[in-house]
Amino acid sequence: MKWHCAIAFIPQNLKYTLNRANVMAEIINGRYEIIDTLGKGGFGETFIAKDTQMPSAKLVVIKKLKPLDSQNTNLELVQNLFAKEAQVLEQLGQNCTQIPTLYAYLIEDGEFYLIQEHIEGESLADIGIINFARCEAILSSLLNTLKYIHSQNIIHRDIKPENIIIRKSDGLPVLIDFGAVKETMGAMTRSNSSTVSSVVVGTRGFMAPEQSAGRTLFSSDLYALGLTMIYGLTGKYPIEFANNPLTGELDWDSSLPNIPAPLKTTLQKAIKMEVGQRYSTAQDMYLALHQSQTQSTTQDTVLVAPANNTGGMNSSSYNPTVVASPSGQNFSQGSAPHPVSGANYSQGYYQPPNQGNNNNIIVILLTAILVAIGVSGGFFAMEQMRANQAELERIEQEKAEAEQKLIEEQKRREEEEAKRLDSERLASEANDARLRAEEDKRRAEQEARNRVIPVNNQPTSINNPDVNTVDISDATVYIHYQSNESGARSLQDHLFSRGVNIADEIDQINGIRKNDIRYSNSSALPLARAVKNEIESFYRSRGINKNLEMIDLSARGFQTPTNQMEIWINE
């Protein structure tokens, strides 16, 4: 037995069962009592359990994983890769509160365990349709999380509504179920000692085209995040949208006429099919989401000169020909105070008649001073406005320089990744050719053995000499079955042994009435026929006659990668 501890100490006696009131309660490592099963798929199972060694008996999430093909997999290689991915999860969870904490990881009897923090809340798939403001808040928060993840040179690989939990305690989105750990379950070693994975991790509909082809980039996460937020706004999965006949892009926004322009533009660019038309980094997408808001705030801000104290006069209606008499009377424009009526003999003294003129002069002087103050205030306001504009231009320049540096860094990383992939491809071409030759020979022998089956059991198949030259290891398949999980997994193992890529998990779907193989377009027809013949040959070897109908998805308006197809089995 081999076990590892990421944070907490894990004692011996990894697993046993306890019979409590005639109910078998599974105990992991003598500590974690399983309460319920959260999910089950091709990579393993997920449980919710309680920590019996903590006073609070806190809840944890346990992921049990297993290699897809234990007989043909180097177990030591998978263990080493699993340990490395566990270290990555530990680091991410410690440094980011929106990623679950990893408590421990365990390996025993060819099965792999992750003990993780339980996040109390609802997934984005469960909370229903969200409004625009909440969508922007969730998207902005997740982009900050992805900025950190990508800065560690990590790609999530499986962003979808089910893998985003809105935490109950603070309402923040938490990103769960990183795909890299699943990818280790399909790790294989080539004869040249290089390591490859035989599985494509991700969820159909949310995977970017380059990810379906086996080349995952940082922008692949942004593509999946964009489609995930569109699901949050509409409640629809990508496959439920029609394609725009002019652009070929998903026609998702026609049902959201009032969506804010910055949010719409950001999501449209994030889900572009071409990598070069998308955002290169999470930072770019974050800035695009908030840029328009910043510009709008700047344009709506107006600097106003301070109000001048005009002694009760309204400066907008002030006219210098209108003055006040000593008694406080106001005269209309064009009139003047009478030279004698302004005399004041009250209080027992004589006031000269020209006192009114002196008062007029004082008023005019005060008015001139106030006008000068207003002019100078306007001048200072203009200067302040110019200074603010210069500061905004400086900030925009710095932001543009930072964005350019991020773009250059991303390009450099992509170039290095491309060089590495080219080097591996060149090094393995000769070995791949040998393996294909051996596989062709084995397939021919298998077909020769299959021909001994009586004619009445032979399925009707499409005769095409080109099928024999097609390498089915180029195919990536999704398997759906009616009810016989054991039979579907036997088919999965058979295709995997023939080099076919198995995409994520097999699905049980009720109501499958016939057997068919669904392929992307006419270019994929030879590859689909080769896979069809392989599946029918598999069932014939078991004495079962199954004819698979060929269905072209492009005729139904769907767009999928050429090498990707779906198998629907009625059993």
pLDDT tens digits, residue range 291-333?
Answer: 855 554 444 433 333 333 333 333 333 333 333 333 333 333 3
Q: Which pLDDT value is given to residue 345? A: 32
Q: What is the pLDDT of residue 467?
A: 46
The fold of 121-300 is Transferase(Phosphotransferase); domain 1 (1.10.510)
pTM reported for the whole predicted model? 0.51
Looking up tokens 């990536």 gives: 476
**Average pLDDT over every residue of 491-504:** 85
pLDDT of residue 358: 58
Is the confidence at residue 144, as pLDDT, over 90? Answer: yes
Lowest mean per-residue pLDDT among 190-199, 285-294, 321-330, 459-468:
321-330
464-569 maps to which CATH number?
Answer: 3.30.70.2390
Contacts of 44 (CB under 8 A, 6+ apart): 63, 64, 65, 66, 111, 112, 185
**pLDDT at residue 553 in the model:** 85
For residue 261, pLDDT over 50 is answered with yes
The SS3 of residue 321 is coil
> Please, what's the b/e burial string for 218-238 (b: 16 or more CB within 10 A of its CB; e: otherwise)?
bbbbbbbbbbbbbbbbbeebb
Of the ranges 379-388, 495-504, 555-564, which one carries the lowest mean pLDDT score? 379-388
Active-site residue, selected from the candidate residues 36, 51, 69, 158:
158
**Across residues 183-198, what is the average pLDDT?**
55
pLDDT band at 353 (very low <50, low <70, confident <90, very high): very low
Identify the pLDDT of residue 323: 32
For 57, half-sphere exposure in the C-beta direction (CA atoms, 13 angstrom radius) is 6
Neighbours of 499 (CB within 10 A): 16
d(CA 176, CA 185): 18
Is the predicted pLDDT of residue 122 greater than 70, yes or no?
yes
Residues contacting 478, CB < 8 A, separation 6+: 204, 503, 504, 506, 507, 564, 565, 566, 567
pLDDT at residue 75, as a whole number = 77
Residue pLDDT, tens place only, 151-176: 999 999 999 999 999 999 999 999 99
Q: What stretches of 471-569 adopt beta strand conformation (E)?
A: 476-481, 501-503, 507-508, 516-519, 549-552, 564-569
CB neighbour burial string for 292-331, b if at least 16 within 10 angstroms, e if fewer: eeeeeeeeeeeeeeeebebeebeeeeeeeebbbbbeeeee
Give Cα separations from 433 to 426, 427, 471, 567 (angstroms).
12, 12, 11, 27
Determine the pLDDT at residue 380. 66
pLDDT for 363-383, tens place per residue? 678 777 776 776 666 666 677
Of 29-43, 249-263, 305-319, the least confident: 305-319
Q: 10 Å Cβ neighbour count for 191?
A: 11
Tally: H helices and E strands in the chain: 10, 20
Distance of CA 79 to the CA centre of its chain: 28
Q: Are 250 and 291 in contact (CB under 8 A)?
A: no
pLDDT digits (tens, 9 = 90+) for 49-100: 999 999 999 999 999 988 766 666 677 888 888 888 899 999 999 999 999 9
**Catalytic annotation present for 36:** no
Average pLDDT, the chain: 77
What's the fold here for domain 2-117?
A: Phosphorylase Kinase; domain 1 (3.30.200)
Given a contact cutoff of 8 angstroms between Cβ atoms, the answer to whether 482 and 569 are in contact is yes
6-11 long-range contacts, CB within 8 A, separation 24+: 6/86, 6/87, 6/89, 6/90, 6/102, 6/103, 6/104, 6/105, 7/90, 7/101, 7/102, 7/103, 7/104, 8/103, 8/104, 10/104, 10/106
pLDDT at residue 523 is higher than 50: yes
Task: Judge contact between 506 and 488, C-beta under 8 A.
Answer: yes
Of 49, 233, 14, 239, nearest to 124 (Cα)?
Answer: 233
More confident residue, 365 or 9: 365
- Delimit the domains of the chain by residue range: 2-117, 121-300, 302-326+355-452, 464-569
Report percent pLDDT > 70 for the chain. Answer: 73
Indicate left, alpha or beta for 492 from its phi (over 0: left) and psi (-120 to 50: alpha): alpha
Task: Identify the CA nearest to 271 among candidates 300, 299, 251.
Answer: 251
